Chains A and B, each alone.
Chain A
Amino acid sequence: MAEQKEEAWDIEITARDTLFDLKLKDVWHYRDLLVLLVRRDFVSFYKQTILGPLWFIIQPLFTTIIYTFVFGNLASIPTDGLPQPLFYIAGITSWNYFADCLTKTSTVFTTNSALFGKVYFPRLIVPLSIVVSNLIRFGIQMLLFLLMMAIYWFKGANFHPNAWLGLFPLLLLLMALLGLGLGMIFSAMTTKYRDLSFLLLFGIQLMMYLTTVIYPLSVVETKYPSYKWLVEYNPMTSIIEAFRYGFLGQGTFTMLSLGITSVITLMTLLIGIIIFNRVERTFIDTV
Chain B
Amino acid sequence: MPSVIKVENLSKAYHLGEIGTGTISRDLERFWAKVRGKDDPFLKIGETNDRSKKGKSDVVWSLKDLDFDIAQGDAVGIIGRNGAGKSTLLKILSRITSPTSGSVKIKGRIASLLEVGTGFHPELTGRENIYLNGAILGMRKAEIKRKFDEIVDFSGVERYIDTPVKRYSSGMYVRLAFAVAAHLESEIMIVDEVLAVGDAEFQKKCLGKMADVSKVGNRTVLFVSHNMGAINQLCNNAIYLHNGSVAAYGDKSAVIENYLTNNTSNYNRELSVAFDEQESDEDTCLNSFEIYPHFADVNDFLTHKDIEVAYDVRIIKPAPGLRIGFEIMHHATEQCVFRSFHDDSYETASTLEQGNLRLSGIIPANLLNKGEYIVYPIVGLHNEKWLCFHRYSILINLVNIGGVNKLYAENRPGIMAPSIDWNILYETN
Residues of A within 8 A of B (CB): 7-15, 29-30, 32-33, 35-37, 39-40, 43-44, 47-48, 115-121, 192-193, 281-282, 284-286
Verify A281–B131 contact, CB threshold 8 A.
no
Verify A119–B106 contact, CB threshold 8 A.
no
Q: How far is the CA of A39 from the CA of B96 in the complex (A)?
A: 25
A43-B128, A48-B123, A119-B137 as given contacts; A10 in contact with B108, CB under 8 Å: yes
Q: How far is the CA of A15 from the CA of B97 in the complex (A)?
A: 10
Verify A13–B92 contact, CB threshold 8 A.
yes
Verify B132–A40 contact, CB threshold 8 A.
yes
Some 15 contacts from A to B, beta carbons below 8 A apart, are: A7-B2, A8-B107, A9-B6, A11-B110, A14-B99, A15-B98, A30-B138, A36-B132, A37-B132, A43-B128, A115-B136, A118-B115, A118-B118, A285-B15, A286-B23
Residues of A within 8 A of B390 (CB): none
Q: How far is the CA of A30 from the CA of B109 in the complex (A)?
A: 14
Q: How far is the CA of A285 from the CA of B132 in the complex (A)?
A: 26
A12-B105, A285-B14, A286-B19 as given contacts; A40 in contact with B124, CB under 8 Å: yes
Residues of B within 8 A of A8 (CB): 107
Q: How far is the CA of A286 from the CA of B24 in the complex (A)?
A: 13
Residue total for B at the interface (Cβ-Cβ under 8 A): 46
Output the least CB separation between A42 and chain B (Å). Answer: 11
Verify A44–B124 contact, CB threshold 8 A.
yes
Output the least CB separation between A18 and chain B (Å). Answer: 11
A115-B136, A119-B114 as given contacts; A10 in contact with B107, CB under 8 Å: yes
B94: contacting residue among A30, A39, A119, CB under 8 A = A119
Verify A115–B119 contact, CB threshold 8 A.
yes
A282: contacting residue among B97, B103, B104, CB under 8 A = B97
Residues of A within 8 A of B128 (CB): 39-40, 43
A10-B106, A11-B105 as given contacts; A32 in contact with B97, CB under 8 Å: no
Task: Across the interface, name the chain A residue whose C-beta is closest to B114.
Answer: A118
State whether the Cβ of B135 lies closer than 8 Å to any Cβ in chain A: yes
Task: Across the interface, name the chain B residue whose C-beta is closest to A17.
Answer: B98
Verify B19–A116 contact, CB threshold 8 A.
no
Task: Across the interface, name the chain A residue whose C-beta is closest to B109.
Answer: A10
Verify A120–B94 contact, CB threshold 8 A.
yes
Verify A43–B138 contact, CB threshold 8 A.
no
A43-B124, A192-B23 as given contacts; A119 in contact with B132, CB under 8 Å: no
State whether the Cβ of B147 lies closer than 8 Å to any Cβ in chain A: no
A13-B103, A15-B99 as given contacts; A192 in contact with B19, CB under 8 Å: yes
Output the least CB separation between B98 and chain A (Å). Answer: 4
Residues of A within 8 A of B124 (CB): 40, 43-44
Query: Which of A8, A10, A118, A284: most chain B CB closer than 10 A?
Result: A118
Output the least CB separation between B429 and chain A (Å). Answer: 52
Residues of A within 8 A of B93 (CB): 13
Residues of B within 8 A of A12 (CB): 103-106
Verify A9–B99 contact, CB threshold 8 A.
no
State whether the Cβ of B101 lies closer than 8 Å to any Cβ in chain A: yes
State whether the Cβ of B167 lies closer than 8 Å to any Cβ in chain A: no
Encode contact with A along B371-386: 1 for CB under 8 Å, 0 otherwise: 0000000000000000
Output the least CB separation between A279 and chain B (Å). Answer: 11
Residues of B within 8 A of A117 (CB): 91, 96, 114
Verify A118–B103 contact, CB threshold 8 A.
no
Verify A13–B106 contact, CB threshold 8 A.
yes
Q: How far is the CA of A30 from the CA of B110 in the complex (A)?
A: 14
State whether the Cβ of B331 lies closer than 8 Å to any Cβ in chain A: no
Task: Across the interface, name the chain B residue whose C-beta is closest to A45.
Answer: B123
Output the least CB separation between B266 and chain A (Å). Answer: 32
Task: Across the interface, name the chain B residue whose C-beta is closest to A12.
Answer: B105
Residues of A within 8 A of B110 (CB): 11
Q: How far is the CA of A43 from the CA of B123 in the complex (A)?
A: 8
B21-56 interface (Cβ within 8 A of A): 23-24, 27
B77-122 interface (Cβ within 8 A of A): 91-110, 112, 114-115, 118-119, 121
State whether the Cβ of B140 lies closer than 8 Å to any Cβ in chain A: yes
Residues of A within 8 A of B140 (CB): 29, 32
B128-151 interface (Cβ within 8 A of A): 128, 131-132, 135-138, 140-141
Q: How far is the CA of A15 from the CA of B164 in the complex (A)?
A: 41
B123: contacting residue among A14, A37, A47, CB under 8 A = A47
Task: Across the interface, name the chain B residue whose C-beta is closest to A115.
Answer: B119
Q: How far is the CA of A48 from the CA of B166 in the complex (A)?
A: 13
Output the least CB separation between B326 and chain A (Å). Answer: 42
Task: Across the interface, name the chain B residue whose C-beta is closest to A192.
Answer: B23
Residues of B within 8 A of A9 (CB): 6, 105-107
Task: Across the interface, name the chain A residue whose C-beta is closest to B137.
Answer: A119
Closest 4 CB pairs of A and B: A33-B135, A281-B98, A120-B95, A9-B105
Verify A44–B121 contact, CB threshold 8 A.
yes
B96: contacting residue among A11, A29, A118, A286, CB under 8 A = A118
Query: Which of B27, B100, B103: most chain A CB closer than 10 A?
Result: B103
Output the least CB separation between A172 and chain B (Å). Answer: 26
Verify B101–A115 contact, CB threshold 8 A.
no
Q: How far is the CA of A116 from the CA of B95 in the complex (A)?
A: 10
